[in-house]
Amino acid sequence: MALWIDKAIKRKSSFREQLHVPKGRNIPEGVINDIKDKPIGSKVTYRNKQFTVTQKLKKRAVLASTLKGFQKRSARRCKGKI
């Protein structure tokens, strides 16, 4: 894993906890995009709850969308490359 990813992911479930999403459930991509697109201080509704878009929430949404774009390597392809 790249060094910047290790530093960026200190608490892996912080974005999930901030949105009150139970473990094992995915955060919809539409909600992540809504948080990214809205200005800081506006409200976003998810699962009948309103959340204020803060700078920290926005950064976590950007990181989540970046990490969703990565493809996981299969065990065979990265064998010997690590």
Q: What is the pLDDT of residues 52-82, one digit of tens each?
A: 999 999 999 998 888 887 776 655 565 555 5
**Judging by beta carbons within 10 Å of its beta carbon (0-12, 13-18, 19+), is residue 61 exposed, middle or buried?**
buried
- What pLDDT is attached to residue 34? 93
Phi, psi at residue 16, to the nearest 5°? -65, -45
Output the pLDDT for position 58: 94
Secondary structure E strands in 26-72: 43-46, 49-52
Dump pLDDT digits (tens) for 21-59. 888 888 889 999 999 999 999 999 988 999 999 999 999
